[in-house]
Amino acid sequence: MSKASHKGIKLQVVDDRPLTPCCPGEQPAVSPVNISEANWVVGQLETNTGPVYRVATALDRSDLWGAVKARWGVGRMNYTVPPGLYAIGAPDENAAVLVSANYKLSFDSLRRELSGLNLWLLVLDTNGINVWCAAGKGSFGTAEVARMVGRTGLARLVSHRTLILPQLAAPGVAAHEVRRRCGFNVVYGPVRAADLPAFLRAGNKADAAMRRPSFTLRDRLVLTPLELTSLIKPLSGFALFLFLLNLSAALLKGNPLALLPLLGHTIDHLVPFVVAVLVGAVLVPALLPYLPGRALAWKGLVLGVLWAFAYTALTPGAESWLRNTAHFLIIPSITAFIGLNFTGSTTYTSLSDVIKETKIAFPLIAMAAGLGLIALVAAYFV
Amino acid sequence: MKYRYLKNVVTLQMDQEKCSGCGMCLEVCPQQVFTYAENVSWITDRDACMECSACARNCPRQAIKVRQGVGCAYAVLMDRFKLKGICCKDACRCSLDNIPDP
Ligand code: SF4
Ligand code: SF4
């Protein structure tokens, strides 16, 4: 069902006419394409710039299911809303104008906070990317804001000249430039959509807490599924590698070739590494503020070494010294690498810092992993 | 709480001579790097800067300079090895577009 409605909105409202100069735009706010089929549309508003779709402020099951799928990387790239002007409630010419990205998750997390309000919602074309990333890449930028203000004829629709942008759009938008280009004043709203009603009630004022991105346990773990799905492939490759090692060791030593024991050994040998991946992808984000040090690879390394010790302690005497050496080299490499990778998911790492950390950490990780692999292979044949 | 990353690395610079004290940088900075005193803005927590460049872009006087970028090791590595990957697994910092579970 969500698929059908998705098809409906994939018909782009946007056109490919050259960029229109900002205000006054002469085109209708929304072209008559059947967004009306979308599950999040609840009616239409007639305005002097043409019909405007009214958007639901409650999420239904297909929205929630879509969010789950996007989190696991399914159909993530097409999870968009057609850019254009929308209405929340019954806005009039004095109603505030919110500006947002056209990534459906951003759009959903915004509208679900707006029930009971009367607002205009200007959805930019950010290529289906969330506000912060789009601002960093420039697709949520000064030019796009001015272009959409022009194309929707916003200046003829509202009597005021204020746009409320998410604060995290600021890396892409120059407020003073927007004013120069289309006469609208940019006010940066709160970081979180949930604070918008309070922000509006306070007369477009954000307090200090509204200006700070949170990075709670939940925020830190929300990207873990995506990290895990991206690790399934290399992990399967590694499993196959271990199976082939077991097989060739059995052949060389002239052991009988039985599939079940071979598989059993492979799984036994795989366990410490699978747990290492989980330690890196789940425990590093979860324990982030409590782990020692500042560098993310270091935080991962600490947990990896702990797990390598724990595994050795849990299997006393069961493993050869070569295999133990391999564990102590490879497991921390895995957790340190996943930790390093987590930089992109945090809310506070800067590019210069990450370049510095990567330059130091990555060669060490690669070297340790390489030596560990040699030890691991050797463990099968000595 | 405020998370902290490495010390003395970021490229943030301000030419306070140009500052008019409009306060825009204080408003847009997600890391509370600036404070306001004596009618101008001061960099008071440089290490917290994440080089998002919101301040530099929104300063009407061009008083601030910073190298803009996303602090993502995956992107840095892809770039280093000239590999084409989807940026940040296309999920960088998406944690801010949260939807609570049903
Ligand atoms: S935005 Fe520029 S002019 Fe305004 S307070 Fe900051 S540094 Fe000064
Ligand atoms: S670059 Fe971003 S984090 Fe750094 S001072 Fe400017 S606004 Fe703050």
Ligand nearest to the CA of B58: 1
Q: Which residues of B fall within a CB distance of 8 Å from A136?
A: 52, 68-70
User: A200 pLDDT exceeds 50?
Assistant: yes
Residues of B (12-41) whose Cβ lies below 8 Å from A: 24, 27-32
Interval B19-41 mean pLDDT = 94
pLDDT at A30: 39
pLDDT at A167: 94
A270-306 burial code (b ≥16 CB/10 A, e <16): bebbebbbbbbbbbbbeebeebeebbbbbbbbbbbee
Q: What is the CATH number of the domain that holds A189?
A: 3.40.50.11600
Cα separation values, A105 from A65, A314, A345, Å: 11, 43, 16
A142 shares its domain with A223:
no
Given A152, A180, A213, the domain boundary residue is A213
At A337, the amino acid letter reads: F
Residue bearing the bigger pLDDT, A296 or B3: A296
Q: Which of B75, B23, B33, B28 is nearest to B54 (CA)?
A: B28
Q: Which residues of A fall within a CB distance of 8 Å from B34?
A: none
Beta pairing partners, A72: none
Q: Terminal CA-to-CA distance of chain A, rounded, Å? A: 58
A14-52 burial code (b ≥16 CB/10 A, e <16): eeeeeebebbebeebbbbebebeebbbbeebbebebbbb
Beta pairing partners, A52: A45
Whose Cα sits closest to atom 4 in ligand 1?
B22
pLDDT at B88: 42
CA distance B79 to A89: 46
Cβ contact (<8 Å) for A171 and B68? yes
Q: Give the residue from chain B lying closest to A216, CA to CA.
A: B1
Q: Which of A12-16, A193-197, A199-203, A267-271 has the lowest mean pLDDT?
A: A12-16
pLDDT at B91: 45
CA distance A161 to A157: 10
- Which residue in the set A77, A171, A340 is minimally distant from B52, CB to CB? A171
A152 shares its domain with A270:
no
Q: Which residues of B fall within a CB distance of 8 Å from A340?
A: 73
Residue A292 forms contact with B (CB below 8 Å): no
A206 shares its domain with A168:
yes
A145 shares its domain with A191:
yes
Q: Which of A46-55, A212-221, B90-99 has the lowest mean pLDDT?
A: B90-99
A223 shares its domain with A190:
no
CA distance A127 to A135: 11
User: B33 pLDDT exceeds 90?
Assistant: yes
A182 shares its domain with A88:
yes
Residue bearing the bigger pLDDT, A202 or B75: A202
pLDDT at A122: 97
A81 shares its domain with A191:
yes
pLDDT digits (tens, 9 = 90+) for A27-60: 333 333 457 677 888 888 889 888 999 999 988 8
The torsion angles phi and psi of A302, rounded to 5 degrees, stand at -55, -50
A110 shares its domain with A230:
no
Helix, strand, coil shares, percent, chain B, to 5: 30, 10, 60
Beta pairing partners, B64: B14
How close is the Cα of B14 to the center of ligand 1, in Å?
9
pLDDT band at B69 (very low <50, low <70, confident <90, very high): confident
By three-state DSSP, how is residue A144 classified?
A: helix
Residue of B14, B16, B19 with the most ligand 1 atoms within 8 Å of its CB, for mutation: B19
pLDDT band at A277 (very low <50, low <70, confident <90, very high): very high
A227 shares its domain with A359:
yes
- Which residue in the set A174, A176, A223 is minimally distant from B94, CB to CB? A223
Please give the tally of structural domains in chain A: 2
Given A189, A213, A237, the domain boundary residue is A213
Length of chain A: 382
A126 shares its domain with A231:
no
Long-range Cβ pairs for the range A321-324 (8 Å, 24+): A322/A375, A322/A376, A322/A378, A322/A379, A322/A382, A323/A375, A323/A376, A323/A379
A233 shares its domain with A198:
no
**Domains of chain B with bracketed CATH:** 13-65 (3.30.70.20), 70-96 (no CATH)
Residue bearing the bigger pLDDT, A230 or A233: A233
CA distance A174 to A164: 13
Q: Which of A115-124, A248-257, A345-354 has the lowest mean pLDDT?
A: A248-257
Contact yes or no for A44/A52 (Cβ under 8 A): yes
At A349, the amino acid letter reads: T
- Which residue in the set A129, A170, A344 is minimally distant from B75, CB to CB? A344
Q: Give the residue from chain A lying closest to B8, CA to CA.
A: A353
Query: Please, what is the Cα angle at B96 between A177 and A112, to 5 degrees?
Result: 95
Q: Is B59 a pocket residue for ligand 2 (Cβ < 6 Å)?
A: no
Cβ contact (<8 Å) for B48 and A295? no
How close is the Cα of A136 to the center of ligand 1, in Å?
20
pLDDT digits (tens, 9 = 90+) for A68-96: 777 776 655 567 889 999 999 999 999 99
- Which residue in the set B53, B91, B101 is minimally distant from A171, CB to CB? B53
Contact yes or no for A223/A140 (Cβ under 8 A): no
A44 shares its domain with A192:
yes
Q: Pocket residues for ligand 1 (CB within 6 Å)?
A: B 19-25, 41, 59, 61, 63-64
Q: Is B63 a pocket residue for ligand 2 (Cβ < 6 Å)?
A: no
Q: Which of A321, A300, A299, A302 is nearest to A312 (CA)?
A: A321
Cβ contact (<8 Å) for A213 and B30? yes
Q: Which domain holds residue A10?
A: 2-213
Given A166, A198, A213, the domain boundary residue is A213
pLDDT band at A172 (very low <50, low <70, confident <90, very high): very high
Q: Which of A337, A342, A344 is nearest to A364 (CA)?
A: A337
Distance from CA of A72 to the nearest CA of B (A): 10
pLDDT at A4: 35
Beta pairing partners, B35: B42
Residues of A (321-380) whose Cβ lies below 8 Å from B: 340-341, 343-358, 362
CA distance B48 to A16: 42
Question: Tokens at residue A25, please?
Answer: 């735009």
Say what the ipTM of the complex is. 0.82
Dihedral angle, C-alpha A240, A244, A246, A248, nearest 10 °: 180
The torsion angles phi and psi of A320, rounded to 5 degrees, stand at -70, 160
Cβ contacts of A260 within 8 Å, gap of 6 or more: none
Q: For the whole model, what pTM was predicted?
A: 0.79
